[in-house]
Structure 1
Amino acid sequence: MTKILIDCDPGHDDAVAILYAARHLDLVGISTVYGNQSVEKTTRNALSLVTLLGLDTPVARGCEAPLTRVLAHGGDLHGKTGMDGAEMPAPRQDIVDAHAVDFIIEMASRNRGELVLCPVGPMTNVALALKKEPRLAGWLRAISLMGGATQIGNTTPVAEFNIWCDPEAADIVFRAGVPMWMVGLNVTRQVGVTDADIDRLMAAGPVARAFGGLFNFFISRLREVHNLNSASLHDPCALVPFIVPELIGYEECPVEIALDSGLTRGMTVCDFRRLTSKSLQNIRAKAPANCHVATSVEGRKLVEHILNAIVSWEDGSMPSTTV
């Protein structure tokens, strides 16, 4: 079973990623970062989720701000707590006695060649871990992230929120040489929970009802802000290559992060060109591929697979990894 560490900023869709990973993978740890709210709130949310789900997964608190820019968080969409919409239980465990940067390094060292690191928030923790321990890139099996877009952004016309929060950190991660999978808005916006799905959750057990409440809040904010009619399940999509890989299609290509201070800051520049020559005078050469970029998804099948994991949580049955 794939060993996975989720670096996250819970966050409604982060909550789903934690449950989905715990259902199908060996979730060895959770590290937190600012993003959908302050790191104080995202850490409490992670601890509350572990309590709700009855897990004993260690949680490490991470960075409270980006590497170079002023802090920004996503409370506009995720509410005052970062996970508005459900009454979450008080945490029954505390954070581990290590910063998330050191926790990531330790878990990768302990599980060399096996651990998949899954960042689904700003990548500040991951970048600092790679800088602090140069051997980390060789210890990781892969990095599979939710972030970026091949087309339209959400925070700016071209930049997705997680990358936009800390482009310098994302640049470090994409240049690290770790095998990478990136799933961006062009795919995750096709994986959304509808009002009918929420009704199904609200008719099930306590955990499913909690997620139904979370989705109900999230879908209302996405309607108001982005004119969407479903609650996007962004973050669990980053887990799909290790659970139901047939549901998302990828294309290997070079990805660069725009670090300028203008309108394109935080853009994930994915080079899908089919160049046949490297010596053309007026055409920029194509760099070596550094990432598998998600380009297609069987959205409804994936939603059903994730919903089945939520609904079946109470009875303890293991939902199939096939669809």
Structure 2
Amino acid sequence: MAPTPALRPVILDGDPGHDDSVNILLAHASPEVQVLGVTTTFGNVGLDRTTHNALTTLALIGASTPVYAGADRPLLVARLSAESVHGQTGLDGPLLPAPTRQAEALHAALFIIREVRARPGQVTLLPTGPLTNVALALRLAPDIAPLIQQIVWMGGSLDVGNWTPAAEFNALCDPHAAQIVFGSGVPVVMFGLNATHQAIATPERIAPIRALSDRPGASAVGEVVAGLLEFFAEHHRERYGWEGGPLHDPLTCAYLIAPELFGTQAMYVEVDTSGGPSSGRTNCDLWNLTGRAPNAEVALNVDSDGFYRLLTERLGRL
């Protein structure tokens, strides 16, 4: 009998957010990973709302995973938010359950430090928002950098931005935190817009997710996720003329589960912290023009059909 594969301990750090919420669900439906906790930061909406939304998402599936609130603002720059994309609650769209508990008292950065030290070389961080909590942990406890197995971040872009012409939202929210992470020596995988915009939640991809709730005895997860994706699509139809919204954040968890769905390339990445019109841009040295050693794997290609098949199958387990 083949041995059971070891679970990969992960911490989900994000700013839920429609796609962050789907990432939480995907992780909890995947036996390959062990979710140690969910940490929250400002971003799509304020910290109180993102923390509430994380607790709401966990209540939907009856999960007792602890939630730790973290940074409510960037390290140095003014705070941004994205109600124009995610609505006033950050999870506008379907009717969601009320949280059944509160966040833990420990700060998110201190939780990250504690768990990484307790499991040296094992913990993978999956940040899907501004990198402030991760940067704070690295600054408060520099000793954890060599102990983190990997950071798989949704943020940045190989090419254009979505909040300014140069910058993607998560990177722009706290460019100084992003630069700390890329300069930390921790192995980083970056899922930027150039990759995530390949994973559009079209009506044809949403329909099988909604149908999950039509099965006898099925949970409401399929219907709720379909509602989230349909609300998220509205902004992207209006701004870009797309059929749906890109499901950015769940690509990070999917990468751990099925890395064969993605193509990446090692390159040097530096974040613009100038405060000028290009601030927040992730400058990716695709052609090794600087001669500097790569500090990240940057996602280039996504098997989007394969990703949605995986996502739908996993949501069906909840």
TM bracket (short chain) = over 0.9
1:234 is aligned to 248
Q: Identity of paired residues, percent?
A: 38
**Matched position secondary structure for 1:232:** coil
Q: Which residue of 2 aligns with 1:91?
A: 99
Is 1:311 matched up with 2:316? yes
**Secondary structure of the corresponding residue to residue 135 of structure 1:** helix
Aligned length: 304
Aligned counterpart, 1:258: 272
SS of residue matched to 2:229: helix
Alignment map for 1:161-172 (pairs within 5 Å): 161-172=169-180
SS in 2 for 1:41: helix
Q: Which residue pairs with 2:199 in the alignment?
A: 191
Instruction: Measure the CA separation in 2 of the matches of 1:312 and 1:222.
Output: 29
Partner AA of 2:68 in structure 1: A
Q: Which residue of 1 aligns with 2:13?
A: 7
For 1:245, the equivalent position in structure 2 comes to: 259
CA contact (8 A) 1:67 1:169 kept: yes
One-letter identity of the residue aligned with 1:209 = E
Deviation at 1:108, TM superposition (A): 1.0
CA distance in structure 2 between the partners assigned to 1:167 and 1:134 by the alignment: 19
Equivalent pair of 2:230/2:244 in contact (CA under 8 Å): no
* Residue pairs, 1:49-60, within 5 angstroms: 49-60=57-68
Counterpart of 2:124 in structure 1 is 116
Q: Matched residues in 2 for 1:82 and 1:273: separation?
A: 38
Equivalent AA in structure 2 for residue 37 of structure 1: V
Q: What does 1:191-210 correspond to in 2, within 5 Å?
A: 191-205=199-213, 206-210=220-224
Shift of 1:226: 2.9
| Aligned equivalents of 2:304, 2:227: Cα separation in 1 | 22
SS at match of 2:184: coil
AA aligned to 2:90 is: G
2:24 corresponds to which residue? 18
Deviation at 1:30, TM superposition (A): 0.4
Q: Which runs of 4+ in 1 moved over 6 A?
A: none
Maintained 8 Å contact 2:29/2:317:
no
**TM-score normalised by L of structure 1:** 0.91
Letter in 2 for 1:190: Q
Q: How much has 1:202 moved relative to structure 2?
A: 2.8
Offset of 1:225 from its aligned partner?
2.5
SS at match of 1:203: helix
What secondary structure is seen at the aligned counterpart in 2 of 1:83? Answer: coil
5+ long unaligned stretches in structure 2: 1-6, 214-219
Match of 2:114 among 100, 106, 110: 106
1:172 partner letter: I
| TM-score, normalised relative to structure 2 | 0.93
Q: Give the drift of 1:220.
A: 1.1
Q: Deviations over 1:37-82 (max 9, x none)?
A: 1110000000011110111111000111111111111111000100
Q: Is the 8 A contact 1:192 1:303 kept in 2?
A: no
User: How many Å separate the matches in 2 of 1:94 and 1:290?
Assistant: 37
Measure how far apart 1:274 and its partner are: 4.7
Whether the 8 Å CA contact 1:164–1:265 is kept in 2: the answer is: yes
- Whether the 8 Å CA contact 1:7–1:30 is kept in 2: the answer is yes
Q: Could you say which residue in structure 1 is the equivalent of 2:291?
A: 286
Q: Is the 8 A contact 2:208 2:312 kept in 1?
A: no
Deviation digits for residues 96-119 of structure 1 (CA, Å, limit 9, x no counterpart): 120111111111112211100111
| Aligned residue identity for 2:39 | S
1:193 match: secondary structure = coil
